[in-house]
Every structure is written in C-alpha cells, then in structure tokens.
Amino acid sequence: MPTAEDGGCRIPKAGAWILKLSAAGLVMVGCEEEGMMARYPNISDHGLIGDLQTAALVTTDGTVDWFCCPRFDSPSVCASLLDADRGGYFRIGPDRDDYVSKQLYLPDTAILITRFMTPDGVGEVHDFMPVEPGAATGRHRLVRQLRVVRGTMRFVMDFQPRFDYARQPHKLELSEDGAVFQTDGMELTLHTVGAPGTALADQGVTVERHGDGLRATRTLRAGQTGGVVLETMGGQPRRLPPEEVQRLADETAGFWRGWLDRSSYTGRWREMVARSAMTLKLMTYAPTGAVVAAPTAGLPEQVGGERNWDYRYTWIRDGSFSMYALVGLGFMDEAAAFGGWLRDRADQWAGDSGHPLQIMYRVDGSSDLAEETLGHFEGWRGSRPVRIGNGAAGQLQLDIYGEAMDAMYLADTQGVQAAHQGWLHIARMIDWVCENWDQPDEGIWETRGGRKDFTYGRFQTWVALDRATRMAARRGRPANVQRWTTERDRVYNQIMERGWNPRTRAFTQDYSSEVLDSSLLMMPLQGFVAPRDPMWISTLEAMDRELVSDSLVYRYNPAASPDGLAGDEGTFSLCTFWYVEALARAGRLEEARLTFEKMHTYANHLGLYSEEIGSTGEQLGNFPQAFSHLALISAAINLDHQLDHGARKAGPAPSRAR
C-alpha cells in the first residue's frame, strides 16, 4: 500500500531517533515509531459510506482500508486499517506523489467525494454504495466513480483484497471486462466502467496482476468519467456504461436527500445534526432496524494500548439512545424498527433463568459474540491485541433496562405503541427488575475489574421502573403497578442514601468509592434529580474540577478506579455532549453553548466523530461512533430549546420524561 514520506526516516532502524516538531515543541521520536505512524492514516482521515447493511471507510488518499461483507459484523475484505501489510486495501488515486487531496460529501447525501489536485489537473473519486433497504442480501455494490474536472489525470487503481481478516487465500481470474476474486463462501466481482464493445486498451486502460490482486491505470481528460464497481456475488465481470453508473449515483443521492427531508430539526446546527443523523442511519442494519455501535473493530482508546474492542454489534444501550435521538428528529420509522428489534430480544427470554436481555447482540439478533484475538494483525499503529467478537456480551449491566424503557416510553408518547404481546414481555421484564435491581453489576463502561454497586446502574433501574409505571398508567395496561412503584421508590431512596458521598459532596461512581463518573450526568437529563438541586449542582461542580479538561470530559479516572485494564484513555465525546446538556439545564447557558461549539472543532473534516479525543485533539477509538453522534443530536435539540426560551424561563426540554 502506498505510504507517505516520513521526514527522512524511510527505513526505520533500531535505536535511531529524529527530531520532530509537535505542539509541545521539538521532541525526540524513534524512527520505528515515526515509520509506524506513516504507515497508517489518522483515525480521523476517513469518510464513511454504506448501504444500510454494511459499510466501508475511505481515507483522504482514496484508499478503502476497512470493508466487511455482507454485513457490518462479517469478516473483512479490506483491513489495512488494522494491518498495513496483511490487511488488504483498495486504493484509487493519481499516479504521482505531488498532489493535494480534499474530501467532502455530496451535500445532503452519503456519497463521498475525494478530490485530487495536481499541476496537470483536478480529478475526483465519488465513492458510494447503492442502498439495500429491504431484506438481508448477499449482494452489495461499492461504486468508485472517476471524473476529471480540469486538465488531465492518470489514475492508478490498486486492489488487494484479503478475505476473512487475511486468513483465507483466494483465486483471481482476470477478463477483458474486469476480474473475479474467489474464496470459500465469498466471491467478489470487479466490473469496469466504459463504452461497451471497446477494448480497455483502446480507452487508455491497462490492467495487470499485482501479487494477489490487480493494478490498473487510466488517463482521463476534463469532462470524462470512468470507474469500477465492486460487487459481492456479482457473477462474471461486465462492462458498465457510464450512464448506468450515473443512474446509480442519482438514485443513491435521491434516497439520502429524501430521507433527510423527513427531519423535523430546524435549529441552529442543521448541518452538524444532519450529518450525525445520516451517520446513525449508515450504521443501521435495515433488515432488522438494529444500530451498530460503530462499523469498525480494534481501533484503540490509547495508541499502542490494549483497549481495542470490536464495536460492530448492537448494544441495547447504544441502540436505545440512537432511537431517542432519531425520535427527537422525527424519524419515527427508525424508532419503530428498533423498538420491534428490542421487543424481539425480550421475547427470546424463557423467563426461568438468566437475564431478560443480553447487553449486546449481532445485528440479526443472534447472541454468539465469542471474543478472539487476531494475532497475525499488528493493529493500528501497533495497538494490540486486535479483537473480534466481544467478551463483555455476557456481563450483567443493569442500566440497559432503564435505557431501553426510556426509549420505549418516548416512542409510546409519539404514537409507537407496544402491541399486546409486546407489553406482556415488557411487564415480565420489569417484574424481573423488581427482583434483581439490588445487586452489583459490571456497569455502563464494561470494565473488567469485577462487579460493584454502580450508582449509574441503580439509577437506570429507577428509570426502568418509572417509565414502565407511566406507560401502564398512560395506556391502561395490566401491570403490578403498586409493586413497581414501591421498588422504584426503594431505588431512589437507596441512591440518595448510599450513592451520595458527603465527603466529596457528590454522587459517586459506586457506593464504596469517592470516584466521580460522568455517566451520572444523565441524572438530571432523565429526571432523577432536578437540574438545579443543590446536591446535583455540587456534583456538577466536582466534575468540573476532576473530569473536565478545557470543556472535554473524561468518563472517570482509571488510576483512581482500577478497571482491570492497562493504560489510559482520552476524553469521551458522548460525555462531553451530556455535559453540554447538564450545563444548559443548570442555568450555565453560555458555558454550554461554548462547550458545544468547541466540540465542533474536534470533528473531522466531514463532521464525523470517533469515540474519544486524545490530549492533542486527535480522534481515538472506533470510528465513527454512534454514541458520539446521537449525543450531539440530543445536545443540539436541547440546547436549542434552552436558548430559545432563556436559561431562566425554559421548562423541561423536549424528548425527556415529564
């Protein structure tokens, strides 16, 4: 895979050092470290495309370095993001090094445009995946449309697929119209774009084997177009007329613009909110309505560290929060689809043992998420281990019941009601919560340091009982409301007695510690405490001192609260957006708006966020992250409400329990 120059350290040697200019001044950097950095793009240097069943990442130099097929959680075809040498990639760019690249989305769509500017001309690669909104299918198309808008450009294409996380060999068959890559259970067809009946050579195209892949070149002049279409289970290669590819582009743009037109948001941050909404939609598996936490696996929370998880699954928590955000924008079909998926998961519980819900599932609802390590992958910039599957799936996390019920209650208030059998499953789940809320759990952050009496988990069981009680009363549904109410009040009183720490004058992470935890920023947002209650104001001020760094918010301090993992982490974007809401509701409206505006500066060039932000503003963790984008939407909606009504006059913000 082509890599950038690395400041004179082209061939790293042990013990070699160079001077590198950083924000802190001149620092000594090992050549090996510098070489590692040059081989991998920044996490933020990517755009996302997808077809509502799977997705791909495209770098600013035109490389598809992450692509799994046929689903988000399927094995990879391209994974050079996690191993530059072994992972596989698909690059299209100028056949020269002296270019400048820029990247943008075609407005109001998920069509990604990578522009290349050279002394001889300006060329573009338009990447998109025609939407597959219906039933699950093995057929997926990744379109790479080329065009030159000024002068001339010689493009080079280098496609090196590596199937099953580079664990399966493949066969390659070349033809006049493209190529077929075959391995057990998977076939990829590369169709070429050009005038039918004309030899590729006559169109200025050269194609040749290049190792286990292929390399092609083509020169285009201003006004000319070309490209390729990569199709799974696509049969024999075909020559596609440029008009057919343009039709696919027009249909894809029409889908996204039509979908976005359904948004009810008219506030101050329309562009950011629209991009976040489309990003959540891109991470939605249309056949079931499930939302993945992120389309990637193995991207680290700390460079070189071990906090590298597979996020290509649907967490009850993340999906519920996503449903909440999309309802706030008026996307009721998406809310109904996820609500159905969620109720189906509750239906699977036999009721005689175990938990009503697992904390995460595959997008099809199956629960086999066995964790394994890809020992042959070096990881992004040496961040090992690279994990697929997720060993946290079997954890007890009591908070998921509150998040799920909060989302279902909101949907109910918007007319998305549970049917009779659905309500019976909800009632049975809430009866289980009554019996099981008072026990230690692993907590929202899925730490691997053992179970504790986490305050957030207890507070979310209060949310579950409260919302279920409201739904039963609102709809006149059969329920043991007296018991639910009694247990709800017991949870509330216990948190006030044991979750509040008189020494720190704050609600703390768990009942036995003085550690602060920013997940508790949700307490006023979900109505557990009044946003200007003295106990909450004191907690917020304690978080200001200990968890906030120039408006960015840490989840907690791992040094003060060992979580069973080595290393550190960056600030958590989800928590920063929660902090914006908490500030606004506490009357600190100017601070809230400034914090929100500052967060916009940490987005990448396309408005996308990963999970975390490092000490020098770099994005860390899986990318893009549903948590970050759904929290941005919620913060924008609620900050708009506070700004429109005034910090002193504003009542409860929309889309929160009254």
pLDDT tens for 453-485 read 999 999 999 999 999 999 999 999 999 999 999
The values of phi and psi at residue 274, to 5°, are -65, -45
As a whole-number percent, the residues of the chain with pLDDT over 90 amount to 80
Residue 132 pLDDT class (50, 70, 90 cuts):
confident
Nearest-CA neighbor of 54 among 173, 116, 139?
A: 139
372 and 240 co-located in one domain: no
Residue type, 432: W
- pLDDT of 33 higher than 70: no
Per the model's pLDDT, the better-predicted residue between 412 and 16 turns out to be: 412
Pairing assessment for the beta strands 239-240 and 186-193 based on DSSP bridges: parallel
Give 71's DSSP letter: S
The values of phi and psi at residue 146, to 5°, are -105, 145
452 and 574 co-located in one domain: yes
> Could you say which of 227, 259, 291 is where a domain stops?
259
CATH of the domain at 595: 1.50.10.10
- pLDDT of 4 higher than 50: no
- pLDDT of 585 higher than 50: yes
CATH of the domain at 223: 2.70.98.50
- pLDDT of 656 higher than 80: no
Measured in whole angstroms, the distance separating CA 562 from the mean position of its chain's CA atoms is: 26
Domain count, the chain: 2
Predicted pLDDT at 651? 41
Q: Is residue 96 part of a domain?
A: yes
Q: Classify each residue of 522-535 as buried b or exposed e, where b means 16 or more C-beta atoms within 10 Å of its C-beta.
A: bbbbbbbbebeeee
361 and 420 co-located in one domain: yes
269 and 253 co-located in one domain: no
Residues 6+ apart with CB under 8 A from 427: 468, 472, 477, 478, 479, 480
Minimum mean pLDDT among 222-236, 435-449, 494-508, 581-595: which range?
435-449
Q: Is residue 356 part of a domain?
A: yes
Please give the full DSSP string across 268-293, using - where no structure is assigned: TTHHHHHHHHHHHHHTEETTTTEE-S
Q: Is residue 24 part of a domain?
A: no
CB 245 within 8 Å of CB 145: yes
- pLDDT of 27 higher than 50: no
Q: Is residue 19 part of a domain?
A: no
Predicted pLDDT at 388? 97
413 vs 329, 471, 491, 581, CA distance in Å?
14, 9, 25, 22
220 and 268 co-located in one domain: no
Domain that holds residue 386: 262-645
Over residues 104-114, the mean pLDDT reads 98
d(CA 577, CA 579): 5
Predicted pLDDT at 352? 62
**Dihedral (CA of 573, 574, 577, 583) sign:** negative
Predicted pLDDT at 417? 87
Predicted pLDDT at 193? 94
482 and 627 co-located in one domain: yes
Q: Encode pLDDT of 624-649 as tens digits.
A: 999 999 999 999 999 999 999 875 54
d(CA 241, CA 196): 7
Question: How many Cα atoms sit within 13 Å of 353 on the Cβ side?
Answer: 0
Q: Is residue 27 part of a domain?
A: no
Residue 37 pLDDT class (50, 70, 90 cuts):
confident
Residues 6+ apart with CB under 8 A from 150: 121, 122, 222
Structure tokens that stand for 456 in this block: 């957030």
Which SS3 state, helix, strand or coil, does residue 553 take?
strand
Helix, strand, coil percentages for the chain (3-state, nearest 5): 35, 25, 45
Per the model's pLDDT, the better-predicted residue between 321 and 11 turns out to be: 321
Predicted pLDDT at 647? 56
Q: Is residue 169 part of a domain?
A: yes
Question: How many Cα atoms sit within 13 Å of 488 on the Cβ side?
Answer: 18
Residues 6+ apart with CB under 8 A from 296: 57, 66, 81, 311, 312, 622, 623
d(CA 45, CA 59): 6
246 and 388 co-located in one domain: no
Predicted pLDDT at 85? 96
> Could you say which of 232, 259, 286 is where a domain stops?
259
H-run or E-run covering 456: helix 455-475
Average pLDDT, the chain: 91
**How many secondary structure helices (H) and strands (E) does the chain include?**
15, 31
Residues 6+ apart with CB under 8 A from 114: 47, 58, 60, 61, 62, 93, 101, 102, 103, 124, 125, 127
Residue 93 β-bridge partners: 156
Q: Is residue 26 part of a domain?
A: no
91 and 109 co-located in one domain: yes
Predicted pLDDT at 568? 67
CB 499 within 8 Å of CB 459: yes
496 and 636 co-located in one domain: yes
pTM (two decimals): 0.92
Over residues 171-177, the mean pLDDT reads 93
d(CA 372, CA 4): 32
- pLDDT of 24 higher than 60: no
Q: Is residue 6 part of a domain?
A: no
H-run or E-run covering 602: none
Predicted pLDDT at 11? 34
Over residues 78-86, the mean pLDDT reads 98
Residue type, 634: S
Predicted pLDDT at 350? 64
568 and 607 co-located in one domain: yes
d(CA 425, CA 351): 10
Residues 6+ apart with CB under 8 A from 619: 42, 43, 44, 602, 604, 609, 610, 612, 613
Per the model's pLDDT, the better-predicted residue between 648 and 519 turns out to be: 519
Which phi-psi region, left, alpha or beta, contains residue 549 (left: φ > 0; alpha: ψ -120 to 50)?
beta
Per the model's pLDDT, the better-predicted residue between 430 and 29 turns out to be: 430
As a whole-number percent, the residues of the chain with pLDDT over 70 amount to 91
- pLDDT of 616 higher than 50: yes
d(CA 60, CA 48): 11
